[in-house]
Amino acid sequence: MGKLHLLNALHIDDVSVIAAADKSEKNRKSVERYGVKTYDDYRELIDTEKLDAIIVSLPNFLKKEGVFYAAEKGVDVFLDKPLARNLAEANEIIQKVEREKVRLMVGVNYRYFESVQKLKEVFDEGRVGNVIITTSDLILNGPFSHPLVPAPVPEWWLDKKLSGGGALLDLGYHLIDILVWMFGDLEIAHSELRHSLNLPVEDAATLMLKSKNTEATCIVNAGWFSRSVFPDFNFRINIHGTAGYDSTDHYAPKNMRVHAAKEGLKNFLRRIAMKEVHYLSYTYYYASFFDILKIFFESINKGTDFPIPLNDELETMRIIDTVYDKHEEK
Amino acid sequence: MAKVILTQLKTKNSTQEDLKKTIKKALEQLDFDFKKGINSIVIKPNLCYYWDYSTGETTDPRVVATIIDELRNMIGKNVAISVAEADASAMKTKYSFDVLGYREMCKEKEVNLVNLCEGEIINKTAKVGDKELNLPVNTILLKADLVVNVPKLKTHNVMGFTCAMKNMFGAIAKPYKYSYHKVLAHAIVGINKEIKSDIVIVDGIVAKGRYPKKLGVIMTANDVLANDFVAARIMSFNPQRVKYLKLAAREHVGEANKIDIIEDNVKMSEVKAAFPCYSHFRHRLSWRLQLKLLRLYGRIVKDVIPPVLED
């Protein structure tokens, strides 16, 4: 994701990309062609350059170290989700940024899908009445996705100590984060983790959560087990209320290729009319990464609060941690 | 004369008994001489992804388990059997053996499970047409008295057609096989010249074309090229127009003309009609066109192209 963030940052107004760091020479070379200075150690980058903010896009087991280093140098941080490998680490990260008086925003990009934004609006306005049941699904191929040029799955993904968990922490995190955003406090009524791929980390998770505020039941289905090829995208949230129902599917493109063509044409016309292009909107999925990063930088430039409260992320981590603890006890 | 036997399981959900009967009968019909001093066997399934047999991408471990049982019945209990696969560009056997259920199956059957990228490897120079290719090969394959090739009945996103010959390409003892993709046809023929598949048993229980489909088909052959000629026809490819099959016929890798097709309990035309055909030519052309348009769009509009779509 690091390279995508870098490409996005290069297209955001009022942002100067100073440098990028990557251990891999191949990766460094691939970004140097955009005129970006590179380092092979992020610590050297932070020590050398004068920065307002940094994007930390590291494997889960290196996140804490990366955020700590940036915080100690007084640099605000955009951090890829999940916040941490577990709740204890998440608390340490948040305490550290508070102590160092730097700001941290977690890249929960799913909140910025147009379909999720619209569903949240419907929910907030009470257009479906009191929501009694919510179901949410995010089932893809996780780390086994196949880019155009095949590459092996980085092994840290499959090592629980390094990753912190599997499908629940990786994909379930997005669903729980949205449910926390919608409902506030949630309690776990039931949970199930599956290892159908015989890996050390779970490849499927089903949770039943109860909203303490509204008593709504929320189902979370997250999985890595399903073969999907970009632009396939098996994600939805359905809300069932006393006055009707709604779904993110109602606001998502029906046909991704037709959507890409339409959005591409719109952007082409915007460019001709010298209007602002909606970057990556043709992909639907990746536009959310652009939008959340843009909001992060706007908040930095304006000195306003980040729109994603860290308490939401702590709550998401608490739920996930509780599920893992429960299943480890078993 | 090359022999290809086409059989279909009686049950849709491939019960163990059905599978056993079908594979036993197919092997008997092959008239293969299993008494000719076979001490070591290597079985090469297709485990090129982390997606299990239900997706139609990889060989069903139950098929391999049944083959192990039948070979022991026919040859003897003490024959040394290894199930072997090599790491691939996007797959490591240390995970796929677990994910696809092979570690468990091999433990239960008490056979060796081998990563062909580990152990004794020698470099073979294969001459194919005007090209000389360096192909690292695990000696377990070269020393085996019997090589059983167990591919899938499926299509491939680069080659279009894939079956037994392409499955053997997966045995090259080099993880990053993507480096051969510019000379893929030559590499496929080259490895099949170096490693002869004595028996081919195609797992078409779940076939994969446009989508996975339960066909319940088992195809058995004593000739790798003959097998692929028949499989190509089933998947609606003209074998004479599949580059590596044409090359293999020219290089005498196997029999392309005199093929005795035995339709045991199912007709080839029925299997062909049931196979979910997929025009890979159209798919590849459409992908290429889409990627070209995307790059053009990126240059004109100066929009971001996600790294996942970089080649």
CB atoms within 10 A of CB B16: 11
Report the distance separating Cα A153 and Cα A163, nearest Å.
13
Q: Is the pLDDT of residue B272 over 90?
A: yes
- The reply to whether A136 and A189 lie within a common domain is yes
The answer to whether residue A286 is domain-embedded is no
> What residue of B is the nearest CA neighbor of A3?
B307
CB atoms within 10 A of CB B249: 20
Q: Is the pLDDT of residue B282 over 80?
A: no
Residues of A in contact with B49 (CB under 8 A): 144
Tell me the C-alpha to C-alpha distance, in Å, between residue A125 and each of A116, A119, A242, B71: 14, 10, 13, 68
- The reply to whether A102 and A135 lie within a common domain is no
Per-residue pLDDT tens over the stretch B181-221: 889 999 999 999 999 999 999 999 999 998 999 999 999 99
- The reply to whether A70 and A95 lie within a common domain is yes
Residue B126: partners with Cβ closer than 8 Å, 6 or more residues away: B132, B133, B135, B189, B190, B191, B193, B194
pLDDT at A149: 67
A151:B89 CB<8 A: yes
pLDDT at B177: 86
3-state secondary structure of A222: strand
pLDDT at A91: 98
The answer to whether residue A14 is domain-embedded is yes
Report the distance separating Cα A43 and Cα A39, nearest Å.
9
Average pLDDT of chain B? 93
A4:B302 CB<8 A: no
A158:B95 CB<8 A: yes
- The reply to whether A229 and A133 lie within a common domain is yes
- The reply to whether A68 and A181 lie within a common domain is no
- The reply to whether A128 and A99 lie within a common domain is no
**Total structural domains in chain A?**
2
Q: Which of B50, B101, B308 minimises the CB distance to A147?
A: B308
The answer to whether residue A259 is domain-embedded is no
pLDDT at A329: 67
The answer to whether residue A278 is domain-embedded is no
* CATH number of the domain within which A57 lies: 3.40.50.720
- The reply to whether A153 and A219 lie within a common domain is yes
- The reply to whether A144 and A205 lie within a common domain is yes
Q: Which of B49, B99, B303 minimises the CB distance to A198?
A: B99
> A182, A68, A162: which is closest to A117 by C-alpha?
A182
- The reply to whether A163 and A79 lie within a common domain is no
HSE at residue B171, side-chain half, CA atoms within 13 A, is 35
Residues of B in contact with A7 (CB under 8 A): 304-307
Contact status of A275 with chain B (Cβ, < 8 Å): no
Helix H or strand E segment including A56: strand A53-56
Q: Is the pLDDT of residue B285 over 80?
A: no
The answer to whether residue A249 is domain-embedded is no
- The reply to whether A34 and A85 lie within a common domain is yes
> Per-residue confidence at B284, pLDDT binned at 50, 70, 90?
confident
Q: Give the domain extent around A8.
A: 2-107+297-302
Q: Which of B57, B89, B303 minimises the CB distance to A150?
A: B89
B301:A199 CB<8 A: no
Q: How many CB pairs under 8 A join A and B?
A: 88
Supply the DSSP string of B3-70, one letter for each residue: EEEEEE-SSTT--HHHHHHHHHHHHHHTT--TTS---EEEEEE---SS--GGGTSS--HHHHHHHHHH
Q: Is the pLDDT of residue B13 over 80?
A: no
Report the distance separating Cα B299 and Cα B5, nearest Å.
54
pLDDT at A146: 67
> What residue of B is the nearest CA neighbor of A278?
B303
Helix H or strand E segment including B244: helix B243-250
With a cut of 70, list the residues of chain A below it in pLDDT. Answer: 146-149, 329-330
pLDDT at A147: 64
Residues of B in contact with A280 (CB under 8 A): 303-304, 306
- The reply to whether A9 and A97 lie within a common domain is yes
pLDDT at B35: 77
Contact status of A24 with chain B (Cβ, < 8 Å): no
B178:A150 CB<8 A: yes
Contact status of A60 with chain B (Cβ, < 8 Å): no
> What residue of A is the nearest CA neighbor of B98?
A198
Which is it for the CA torsion B66, B220, B254, B241, positive or negative? negative
Read off the amino acid at residue A118. K
Least confident of A53-62, A218-227, B73-82, B288-297: B288-297
Tell me the C-alpha to C-alpha distance, in Å, between residue B39 and each of A152, A290, B75, B79, B150: 35, 61, 9, 5, 19
Q: Which of A243, A268, A289 is the last residue of a domain?
A: A243
* CATH number of the domain within which A174 lies: 3.30.360.10
pLDDT at B110: 97
Mutation for testing the B interface, residue in A34, A145, A146, A292 having most B CBs under 10 Å: A146
| Bigger pLDDT: B282 vs B40 | B40
pLDDT at A148: 66
Contact status of A229 with chain B (Cβ, < 8 Å): no
Per-residue pLDDT tens over the stretch A229-287: 777 889 999 999 999 999 999 999 999 989 999 999 999 999 999 999 999 999 999 99
Would you say the ipTM is above 0.95?
no
- The stretch B50-59 carries a mean pLDDT of 93
Burial of B91 (0-12, 13-18, 19+ CB in 10 A): buried
Q: Which of B92, B302, B310 minimises the CB distance to A152?
A: B92
The answer to whether residue A282 is domain-embedded is no
- The reply to whether A68 and A156 lie within a common domain is no
- Kindly calculate the radius of gyration of chain B based on its CA atoms and give it in whole angstroms: 19
